[in-house]
Amino acid sequence: MSRVLRRRQFLIQGGKAGLALGLGVKSLTAAARVPVGAIGYQQSPLPYAYAALEPAIDALTMEIHYLRHAAAYTKNMADACTAEKVDTTALPLEMLLQKISQYSTKLRNNAGGHYNHELFWQTLRAPKEKNSPSGVLLQKMVQDFGSFEQFVTQFTDLAKGRFGSGWAWLIQSPSGKLALSSTPNQDNPLMDLAETKGYPLLGLDLWEHAYYLKYQNKRADYIQNWFAVVHWDTVAERLQKN
């Protein structure tokens, strides 16, 4: 397992290092295992109104996306967890995703769909002019992509090039460096079967249900406008300080 993922797993398992190292996950209390703000198995309330991301993302798309598409992934994940005897009180979602190849395609698709959408909502907020990262995140972007502008160009090319449905990601790779990846369907870079593994900091939903009502076939316009609503503070908070 990568250094970033190991560190994240350590954080998930609780702050008491001796306890986490000496005992299995099941012996820890739920409160000690799951950090505040971690994505769990429930659908969280949307942290803003459906219209909050306009004009980049319209209210009707947000409402259908959250209430129908994302809610369905959450429900179908729960059904699959029951059928496959996943103890969701003992196994944090990020750890399930890290061994998702051991489970069914239904669980892979829906646990991925649930996690990806929870992350998507968290990393967006009302549009801001000249929206860009700062601090350590910006420094790392300069180190690993050359500049923020270069990151935007590379991410945009990757997102435009994803054939069919999937996601484009900014990840922290096992070495600690920032990197880009793209996954098909509802896969994500936490999954053991992902081609490029790492910790997802930011993901862009490239399914047509995320943009078709407003943008139809113009995926490039959707990608460009989405950058105005990225919540860079949340992205920076996800960065692991190795």
Site residues, Mn ion (CB under 5 A): 205, 207, 210
- Direct distance between the N- and C-terminal alpha carbons of the chain, in angstroms, rounded to an integer: 15
From CA 209, how far away is CA 34, in angstroms rounded?
31
In this chain, which residue has its C-beta nearest to Mn ion? Answer: 205
Closest to Mn ion by CB, 118 or 205: 205
Residue whose entry in the numeric block shows the structure tokens 């003992």 = 90
Instruction: Residue 239: name the closest of 133, 151, 148 by CA.
Output: 133
Closest separation between CB of residue 20 and Mn ion, Å? Answer: 34
Nearer to Mn ion, 73 or 145 (CB): 73
Q: How far is the CB of 184 from Mn ion (least distance, A)?
A: 14
Nearer to Mn ion, 172 or 186 (CB): 186
Cβ proximity to Mn ion: between 168 and 210 the closer is: 210
Helix (H, G, I), strand (E, B) or coil at 9: helix
Contact 82, 171 (CB under 8 A): no
Backbone angles phi, psi at 180, to 5 degrees: -115, 150
Q: How far is the CB of 36 from Mn ion (least distance, A)?
A: 25
Least distance CB 209 / Mn ion (angstroms): 5
